[in-house]
């Protein structure tokens, strides 16, 4: 009992310190262009903002896409073997200059910091190839991430993504707000799963499928999402899907041990020329 009380008091103190830090940093947030203010406001209201790499118009986009094509050519293609649970192929490309340069573009960092509300950490980049699957498992289950209180992941589609490619799908925040009964029903189901995730049929008991938002789009579609706040998953697919994931939290995050996968040896890294390696010795990279 004493341990439970001590844990609750620690959580309460941590939350108070977090709220105070938000209040103090509010006056130091970087200025935003009007178009970027729309991204932040939409994230706060719905948890997701969808745009395109062309509309963002970042200076380093051309080099990013060239580097992505090179790395994709080295990845495995989907085979025709019937499988129910085929794991994705993931490369950690944080140390490839073209990827980290795009992820640290000044405009992107300003958007993320204004949403998170605190100094931020850019943890890194995953290049991901998802294969056809017939069963829901892993990130195909509906889930929420837990690295921090707010997490921004920027997903870039590198191929056209239609329904059969398994698009990113989410439930808008407006349907699962803290003050709604749906919020607690969903958390109960997540708790029952050990926070591993829930299947479509379980979610339908709380949120009818007609309210789920599927993010289809051509290559170059960009999705900003708070993966802590928004219930989300990748859908079942019959064709492979190629994406980039850029990951940001507050600096430091609440659970830094969950962030190391974006730069350590959890996943393979491509072989690099020395000129392509980014040292990332400042506080932005790797948290």
Comparing 31-40, 73-82, 224-233, the range with the smallest average pLDDT is: 73-82
**203/208 Cα distance (integer angstroms):** 8
Cβ atoms of residues 244 and 99 within 8 Å = yes
How do residues 172-226 score in pLDDT, each as one tens digit? 999 998 888 999 999 999 999 999 999 999 999 999 999 999 999 999 999 999 9
Domain 31-276 maps to which CATH number in 2.40.50.140, 2.60.120.380, 2.60.120.620, 3.30.2310.20? 2.60.120.620
The model's confidence at residue 1, banded by pLDDT at 50, 70 and 90, is low
**Distance of CA 106 to CAs 59, 60, 112, 134, 205, Å?**
10, 11, 10, 40, 42
């Amino acid at each position: 009992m004493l341990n439970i009380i001590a844990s609750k008091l620690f959580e309460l103190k941590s939350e108070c310190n977090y709220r105070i830090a938000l209040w103090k940093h509010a006056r130091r947030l970087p200025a935003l262009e009007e178009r970027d203010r729309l991204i932040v406001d939409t994230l706060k209201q719905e948890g997701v903002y969808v745009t395109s790499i062309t509309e963002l118009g970042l200076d380093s986009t051309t080099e990013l896409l060239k580097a992505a094509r090179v790395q994709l050519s080295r990845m495995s293609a989907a085979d025709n073997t019937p499988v129910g649970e085929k794991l994705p192929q993931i490369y950690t490309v944080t140390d490839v200059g073209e990827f980290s340069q795009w992820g640290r573009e000044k405009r992107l960092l300003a958007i993320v910091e204004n949403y998170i509300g605190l100094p931020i950490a850019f943890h890194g980049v995953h290049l991901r190839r998802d294969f056809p699957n017939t069963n829901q498992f892993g990130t195909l289950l509906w889930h929420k991430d837990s690295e921090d209180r707010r997490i921004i992941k920027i997903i870039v589609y590198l191929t056209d993504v239609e329904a059969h490619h398994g698009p990113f799908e989410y439930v808008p925040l407006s349907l699962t707000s803290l003050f709604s009964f749906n919020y607690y029903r969903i958390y109960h189901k997540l708790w029952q799963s050990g926070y591993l995730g829930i299947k479509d049929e379980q979610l339908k008991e709380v949120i009818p499928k007609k309210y789920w938002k599927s993010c289809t789009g051509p290559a170059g579609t960009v999705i900003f999402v708070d993966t802590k706040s928004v219930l989300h998953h990748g859908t079942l697919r019959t064709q492979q899907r190629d994406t980039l994931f850029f990951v940001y939290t507050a600096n430091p995050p609440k659970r830094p041990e969950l962030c190391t996968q974006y730069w350590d040896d959890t996943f393979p890294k491509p072989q690099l020329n020395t000129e392509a390696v980014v040292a990332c010795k400042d506080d932005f990279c790797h948290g």
